[in-house]
Structure 1
Amino acid sequence: MLPTDRPAPRTAWMRVALAAAQLSHGTLGDAIGRHPRQQLTWLGLLAAPLLLPVAIPGMATTVGAFCLLVALSTLLARPIPLPHWLARRRLPPTLGKTLHSVVGRLTHWLARISQPRLLGLSSARYRYLNGGMLALAGLSMMTPVPMISIDNMVPAAAVALLAWGLRVRDGGMLLAGYLVTALAWAYVALLWWAGAEIAAWLLEQLPASWQWR
């Protein structure tokens, strides 16, 4: 289900920033709830720390799985509760501190430049497009990349743009999310290609007696 109201930009972003304060309390199921606006808010929040060049173990899988759930909810136009294994998950305690330092500045900046526009893109008419793009962004987040530990910044940007674009009904942000989702898959493909090339080069450096015959 897509949001159908036309929120005041600053009010919507204030709610996003306030939600970050709840991240360190309880489980994901306790914090996120089932309302579509809540889920979109939290999806953008959970993707935000991955925009930084730091590795947070388990975050990419959690955000990717949650993104797929929100994508399915968007496609079906109805809220879907978190599965038990995801609802009972507790995020790393350090994540709350990271979010406070990142989300406050990020939402303050976004509140000044974003606005409800191109409202048709966030309407139910385009739910298949938006659900499909969310699913692609989530899958790019979950795709393992060889030999790269910090590989989620571009997929995280795609997830955050799509989630918050739908949350505040900013079609310009959604268009940026579509573009970054395509870039995320190009980025993942490039890392796989580079990893394969490096692996092939390393195999060539092995002594002949160690190589497969």
Structure 2
Amino acid sequence: MNGTMADAVGQSNRQRMVWLSLLAMPLLVPVALPGMASVVGAFSILIAFGLLSGQPVPLPAWLARREMNDRARMLLERMTSRVIQIIARWGRPRMLRLSDKPARIANGLMLCAAGLSMMVPVPIISFDNVLPALAIVLISWGLRLRDGLMLLAGYLVTLAAVASVGLLWWGGTVAATELLSLMGLTFSQ
């Protein structure tokens, strides 16, 4: 973890999976962290494009050149070792076909869908990022550990996340329309 962000994050998609999961984990708690969901979603999409193309997408130059200070590095090292100890208890290589190269496109699409569902702003609801964050964590660790069972769980949670964001937007639209109708404001179609 010495040096720049590019050095710390690594050059391969497998290395970046650890960072992606660490970024997504705070969003598992339904607390609003302004801007965090967009950052995690964007990083998820960046890694997803790397999976889809078969080559990691480089970090933006301004981010890659940033130096990590000693305090941040120490905190990240402790957090990383703790998370790896916990995840290592459950994850192990199994159902390997889901993490092989032929499945790379499906994995990239699912990771991209989870990232996009995290980036879509859902007004008023503070727990809207929990499902996409869980999907990102499961897919990231499933790919990192080659654990097909985690990947399957990540796929299911991704589908639930996309459906929940869609339902929240649909419900919000219906509620807003009803509220405007009750106020006597209607729009002609």
TM-score, L = length of structure 2 = 0.83
Equivalent pairs: percent with the same residue? Answer: 51
Pick the aligned partner of 2:173 from 168, 171, 196: 196
Answer yes or no: is the 8 Å Cα contact 2:135–2:157 preserved in 1.
Answer: yes
Answer yes or no: is the 8 Å Cα contact 1:49–1:102 preserved in 2.
Answer: no
Q: 1:103 to 1:115 in 2, by over 3 A?
A: same
Q: 1:188 to 1:172 in 2, by over 3 A?
A: same
Deviation at 1:32, TM superposition (A): 1.2
1:77 is the counterpart of 2:54: yes
Aligned match of 2:162 = 185
- The residue matched to 2:58 in structure 1 has which SS? coil
Aligned match of 1:52 = 29
Answer yes or no: is the 8 Å Cα contact 1:33–1:39 preserved in 2.
Answer: yes
Answer yes or no: is the 8 Å Cα contact 1:33–1:81 preserved in 2.
Answer: no
Deviation at 1:54, TM superposition (A): 1.0
Aligned match of 1:148 = 125
Computed over aligned residues only, the root mean square deviation of the Cα atoms, in angstroms, reads: 3.0
Deviation at 1:98, TM superposition (A): 11
Give CA-to-partner distance per residue, 1:124-167, whole Å, 9 cap, x none. 11111111111111111111113223310000011111111000
Aligned match of 2:136 = 159
User: Which amino acid counterpart does residue 167 of structure 1 have in structure 2?
Assistant: R
Deviation at 1:45, TM superposition (A): 0.9
Aligned pairs for 1:60-139 within 5 A? 60-84=37-61, 87=64, 104=82, 107-139=84-116
Aligned match of 1:3 = none
User: Which runs of no fewer than 5 residues in structure 2 stay unpaired?
Assistant: none
Q: 1:199 to 1:163 in 2, by over 3 A?
A: same
Deviation at 1:59, TM superposition (A): 0.9
* Residues paired across the two proteins, number: 184
